[in-house]
Amino acid sequence: MEILHLLLSGFATALQPDNLLMAAIGAFVGTLVGALPGLGPTSAIAILLPLTAVLSPTKAIIMLAGIYYGAMYGGSSSAILLGIPGDAAAVATCLDGHPMAKQGRGGPALGIAAVSSFFAGTMGVVALVFFGPMFADQALKFGPPEYFALMLLALTVVIGLGGASISKALAMGFLGYLLSLIGLGTMTNMPRLAFGYAPLWGGLDVISVVIGLFAISEVLNGIEEKKVAISMGNIGSVFPTRNDLRKSAIPTVRGGLLGFFMGLLPGVSAAITTFLAYDLEKKCSKTPERFGQGAIEGVAAPESANNATSSAGFITLFALGIPASPPLAVLLGGLMIYGLTPGPMLFQQNPDFVWAVIASMFIGNIVCLVLNLPLVGLWAKLTQVPFGILAPIILLISIVGTYTIRNDMLDVLVALIFGILGYFLKKFHWPLVPLIICFILGPMLEKSLLQSFAMAFENPFIFFQRPISLSLIVATGVFLIISIILRRRTNSRIASSGLEEI
Amino acid sequence: MKMKKKMIWIISILLLSVIVAGCSSQGSSQPAKQEAPYPTKQIELVVPAGPGGLTDLTARLVADFVSKKWKQPVLVINKPGAGNVTGLQYGLMQGRPDGYTAVADNIAASVLMVAGMKNPPIKLEDRIFVSKFVDNPMCFSVAADSPFKDMKELVEWIKQNPEKLTHSSLSTISMNALTAAELCKAIGVDYKKTQPILVQSGSAGITMIAGGHAILGDQSVQETYPLAAGGKLRVLAVASKERSPLFPDVPTCQELGINIDVTWYGGISLPKGTPDYIVKKWDQTIAEIEQDPEFINKMKEMHGNASYLNTADYNNSIKEQVEQYTELFDSMGVRQ
Amino acid sequence: MKTLLADRIAGVILFVIGGLAVFEAIRLYPLHIGRSIVGDETFIGFLGVALMILGGLFIFVFKPQGDKQAEFPTGELRKRMLLVTGLLFAYWVLLQVIGYTASTFIIGLGLFRTMGAYGWLRCSVFAAMLTVVYYVLFVVWLQSPFPEPSIGILL
């Protein structure tokens, strides 16, 4: 077992006190920046990357691993406490995490998020060690038709999460697709849906749409509900109760496995897997109507899927040199600055370094858990601030945060418009989730469709001629039928219980 | 009661004025029209691409070295979107021509945009090309399990079956399209018969080749290297004049009798109207850091190739290329 | 009744958006490159038609579901919400006119005053603190390049 030996020596490096300190600093700072509303892991890593430049390569990379996990965790804490997801992947966590925080159970929600992130992250690193090279070949087999089929599969989520009315969900989904296509055309590179307005050529930014729909509109709703505070009194114990743990154990495992295996495919982002995991839990649950109202399973599953997907992303990154998500792209940049070229040769060229990195990712994960469980109290204190103070803070940081993503004032305007739009859509019970999912998936759906046609020389049957895409399409059909049947059964129950849709 | 309200108003106005004064004193340090000392404050280097790619990495490297030389911070700002246009618009059109806004330009953002579009949103005249600092040749590759063992076999096959040739490309007027079109032109095949598959990023394109979903890889050596080094790709030929240090055993196209020379490059551009002495200062500094062995080494680690052209040569080569490629894009039927 | 009306209006809006998309697809169609049968317009056209159909269904076919009615705030609350929304848009304008520091303070002051039940003095202190904290965070630490004010105001 040469691998084990190498891994152990990697641990020896990563566990040196000064290296451990770097991991701790990285995890703390990463969480802090990631927890700023609107700043997701991508921006957090990009921002903190220069800070590591003063260190020696090994220390810097260990710190980067800490920052990475910290930023991932920080993103979910603002999603849970403030209902403001830092990136698209945290939207699913919002759905149940924020209601939990509103009910005064922010502590357990954050605790479960930390625990399930840790579990999935660890699982991912272990898998990276043993299966990394094996999966590399499989990932390459995914061509455009397979991705198209995969996007269709993800579309069933829209039906599953769409609230009471399928037609409303579909309409919102189509709108989401349409909005995502604003910008330069895939094929011609000519502007489309911009109606002659040049600043729109760059398209709408996901984060500004998300902040508008989920943060600004939420605050507007808050004013109306005359909230004194998002949560007064106790946020609940920081540590999840045994009951919480028991309830979320299986969702964590399920979400982790789903997130991991889907995440092995380059291009399947955590945004996709978190929604799939959430939907899967809702389907498996005996009480699906609790979802969206603060079900702890609805926090555990997407959080676990999120981290498992990013861990799986490490495999495609290290084994193929393909960054599977924006945060990994930034991390790739960081690795390359230190002379590491991810790719199949990496393990042969720089074994010591690589195994130190893998070990430090493991350590970073643990440090994150150890650091964050006690600090959950600190993050959760945020929710005890009166609404009259918290709301202006959220509104202003939403605006400033939106601006800093692309340094573009147009994004701010977009966020404001979507804030008002979100307010009215909620009023009239049009579901927001399909809009945002389709907005995220739209470009990939279109691209894979056009690419498939191109590579098959305009043969539309290509999707049914390749085994992987065919089985995905069959799976889509099956899921669609199941979810429509399930809806019929639960629909009346949800409607009669008078609960609000997400 | 009234008194108290008044007091509060006065205090808040005082507070406001302190803050406003604080911020305006910062903004008022504008350089005079005459040769003011330069640089005296932070410089923004706009990258028209997201973080992580070669444009971004090399720009950060340049920013680092320039900042050390000038003892002023050089801040890299990523402005991705709309195929370079967003960043260029921000840096060149909205940026002030005072030397404190520079752009990490590249061939796709300058030459290809102007050659490929009848009415490009950013024209050559909208900026000052200062100097080139990095090279990255294009190359041809196929999947490792592809039946084509060398460039000759592939070329023969393309000549027989041009309509079966699939290749990946960022857009119809991208470096990839250009590379494939140059190959077709050199071997006497109609490019219009081939089938480009449009992809969202260089790494997505090269992955598609390695997976066997398209036949011919026409990416840069930097994009090709990781998968090639791992044995997933076979690199058949490099499209530049000289062999690439990344693939010392791979012949150039010219060695094989295919007369093409396509290389991606990046350089520094400044907004139109930036004073001459500032342009000169940038050019000199770039020239100096290009000599620095540390810079060359760092560049190598990113799989870029430190390569300098001064202002005059850089401008000439750009003008030449624009003419040449405008004609080519016209013949490809992709010029809009 | 109200919901039915609202859904019908939404149906009209969907129909119009769908129409715009179809219109855009028709405009894009001639830009088609090469021999491809699909292109930039395919997906947009599909979405446009789908939205028009859905819009039509909402206008003519669907019956209102449930008896949920949208209620909007009135009186003082409505005024406050409009003021908050207005302040946010004002912030967007002011950021570009008088720069980050001044606009953040002014809008922060306005928002605290509107949403919280505090006096001017306390609100000013909150707003000043907020401005300073965000300044340190975004300008000093994260080095975000805020738009340069188009006019430098001095008091």
Same domain, yes or no: C132 and C79: yes
pLDDT digits (tens, 9 = 90+) for A393-411: 878 877 887 787 677 788 8
**For residue A420, what pLDDT is reported?**
92
Report the mean per-residue pLDDT for chain B: 82
Q: Number of residue pairs across A and B with CB atoms under 8 Å?
A: 137
> Is residue C95 situated within a structural domain?
yes
**Higher pLDDT pick, A63 / A133:** A63
Out of B5, B19, B27, closest to residue C148 by CB? B27
Cβ atoms within 10 A of the Cβ of C122, count? 15
The region of weakest confidence among A111-125, A173-187, B283-297 is A111-125
Report the mean per-residue pLDDT for chain A: 76
pLDDT digits (tens, 9 = 90+) for A294-314: 788 888 888 888 888 877 777
User: Is the separation of the CB atoms in A122 and A308 below 8 Å?
Assistant: no
Yes or no, beta carbons of C115 and A177 under 8 Å apart: no
**B208 and A CB contact within 8 Å:** yes
DSSP state of B142: E
Q: In this prediction, what percent of chain A has a pLDDT beyond 70? A: 75
Distance from CA of B115 to the nearest CA of C (A): 17
Q: Is B152-238 the same fold as B43-137+263-332?
A: yes
Residues of B in contact with C100 (CB under 8 A): 23
- Classified by CATH at the fold level, domain B43-137+263-332 comes out as D-Maltodextrin-Binding Protein; domain 2 (3.40.190)
**C107 and B CB contact within 8 Å:** no
Distance from CA of A300 to the nearest CA of B (A): 31
Which residue type is seen at A278? Y
pLDDT digits (tens, 9 = 90+) for B1-20: 444 555 555 555 555 544 44
Strand B195-198 relative to strand B166-169, pairing: parallel
Yes or no, beta carbons of A143 and B213 under 8 Å apart: yes
> Is residue C131 situated within a structural domain?
yes
User: Is the separation of the CB atoms in A393 and A401 below 8 Å?
Assistant: no
The region of weakest confidence among A245-254, A281-290, A341-350, B224-233 is A341-350
- Mutation for C interface: A47, A186, A188, most C CBs within 10 A: A188
Domain that holds residue C101: 75-141
Yes or no, beta carbons of B75 and C101 under 8 Å apart: no
Yes or no, beta carbons of C24 and A187 under 8 Å apart: no
For chain B, what are the domain ranges?
43-137+263-332, 152-238
Yes or no, beta carbons of C44 and A407 under 8 Å apart: no
The region of weakest confidence among A231-235, A431-435, B62-66 is A231-235
Q: Taking residues B265-291, report their average pLDDT.
A: 88
Distance from CA of B12 to the nearest CA of C (A): 6
Yes or no, beta carbons of C120 and B22 under 8 Å apart: no
Sign of CA dihedral B158, B162, B167, B169: positive
Q: Number of residue pairs across A and C with CB atoms under 8 Å?
A: 163
> Is residue C28 situated within a structural domain?
yes
Question: Is the confidence at residue A205, as pLDDT, over 70?
Answer: yes
Report the mean per-residue pLDDT for chain C: 81
Q: With residue B22 as reference, give the H or E element that holds it.
A: helix B2-27
User: Is the separation of the CB atoms in A9 and A355 below 8 Å?
Assistant: yes
pTM over the 0.90 mark: no
Question: Is the confidence at residue B72, as pLDDT, over 60?
Answer: yes
Cβ-proximal residues to A476 (8 Å cutoff; 6+ apart), any chain: A149, A152, A153, A155, A156
Strand B233-238 relative to strand B263-271, pairing: unpaired
**For residue C48, what pLDDT is reported?**
93
Instruction: Residue A205: name the closest of A183, A236, A173 by CA.
Output: A183
Yes or no, beta carbons of B19 and C102 under 8 Å apart: yes
- Chain C residue at shortest CA distance from B13: C155
Question: Is the confidence at residue B22, as pLDDT, over 80?
Answer: no
Question: Is the confidence at residue A476, as pLDDT, over 90?
Answer: no
Yes or no, beta carbons of B57 and A339 under 8 Å apart: no
Yes or no, beta carbons of C54 and A395 under 8 Å apart: no
Same domain, yes or no: C8 and C52: yes
Same domain, yes or no: C128 and C104: yes
pLDDT digits (tens, 9 = 90+) for A264-294: 765 567 777 888 888 888 878 777 777 777 7
- How many domains in chain C? 2
Yes or no, beta carbons of A344 and B80 under 8 Å apart: no
**C6 and B CB contact within 8 Å:** no
List chains adjacent to chain C, taking adjacency as at least 3 C-beta pairs closer than 8 Å: A, B
Yes or no, beta carbons of B19 and C31 under 8 Å apart: no
Out of C100, C124, C153, closest to residue B11 by CB? C124
Same domain, yes or no: C94 and C129: yes
**For residue A429, what pLDDT is reported?**
80
> Is residue C150 situated within a structural domain?
no
**Residue B12 and residue B310: Cα distance in Å, rounded?**
55
Cβ-proximal residues to A75 (8 Å cutoff; 6+ apart), any chain: A34, A35, A40, A41, A44, A85, A86, A87, A89, A90
> Is residue C116 situated within a structural domain?
yes
> Is residue C38 situated within a structural domain?
yes
Same domain, yes or no: C57 and C33: yes
Same domain, yes or no: C43 and C92: no
Domain B152-238 has CATH 1.10.510.10: no
**Higher pLDDT pick, C28 / A42:** C28
Q: With residue A53 as reference, give the H or E element that holds it.
A: none
Same domain, yes or no: C57 and C83: no
ipTM of the complex: 0.89
Question: Is the confidence at residue A14, as pLDDT, over 60?
Answer: yes
Same domain, yes or no: C87 and C129: yes
Cβ-proximal residues to C115 (8 Å cutoff; 6+ apart), any chain: A223, A387, A388, A391, A392, C80, C84
Distance from CA of C95 to the nearest CA of B (A): 13
Radius of gyration of chain B (CA): 24
> Is residue C21 situated within a structural domain?
yes
The region of weakest confidence among A57-61, A419-423, A449-453 is A57-61
Cβ-proximal residues to A78 (8 Å cutoff; 6+ apart), any chain: A34, A35, A36, A37, A84, A85, A86, A90
Residues of B in contact with A202 (CB under 8 A): 80-82, 85-86
User: Is the separation of the CB atoms in A303 and A275 below 8 Å?
Assistant: no
